[in-house]
Amino acid sequence: MSNTVYDIPAKAKRQSKRGSPAFQEFYRHFFVNSTGLIRREVDLSFLQELAPEETAIAKDLIRRNLKLNYTHIIDGAAALRDREAVPQLQDMLARESNLSRRLSTAGALWKIAEDPIFLECLRDMAESNYETLKEAHMYQIPWLGNVDAISLLIDLLKDSGSFVRHLALSALNAIEHRKHFLCSSDELPCGPSDYTSRRDDTEFMNVMVQNLCQWYNANAG
């Protein structure tokens, strides 16, 4: 996507050429070629290497362009944990009716400020009849980092969509066994009944939440 669609002040353009390698990487991914971000293939650890002045410029750039409603820009506000972006994100969410875009915006609000509207949006997703929506946003459920995430994944084991069920089961197995599996549902260590039968087991749910917080979210693709 051409960066001519973005609001980029002269100072930021200069920084994109003269700044640190980390800032140049930030600018390239967010404002020159965002394909990797959209596919969730980019390691954003370079954001931790930005100098304080560069972080301020990066946050300003993201806030200036939130109005475009691009998912990777919304995700940028979350990745930068930009609390100043919260009012703008809340206003965007209030005006948004598309559930996919609501999930993206609510997810950013959760990461920045743990806004409970995110759980409401996830529940709306889980209860919807749109399989492709669930397939596209399933990866956001573990962001909750609490028992609600595990419960939602267990709920989705009964979804009408076979691939939705597979994604939920794969995520639960990965969380429990602290290992990502690339195999069919039949080849996973535990089946749906192993989780539905234990959802009221407090000790089991506590272990799942602990694994979710300590391993799964840290190793998610």
Q: What is the pLDDT of residues 125-166, one digit of tens each?
A: 999 999 999 999 999 999 999 999 999 999 999 999 999 999
pLDDT of residue 218: 78
> How many other β-carbons are positioned within 10 Å of the β-carbon of residue 133?
18
In single-letter form, the type of residue at position 166 comes to H
Whether this prediction's pTM lies above 0.85 is answered by yes
Asked whether 30 and 37 are in contact (CB, 8 A), the reply is yes
Confidence tier at 1 by pLDDT (50, 70, 90): very low
Q: How far apart are CA 7 and CA 162, in angstroms?
A: 42
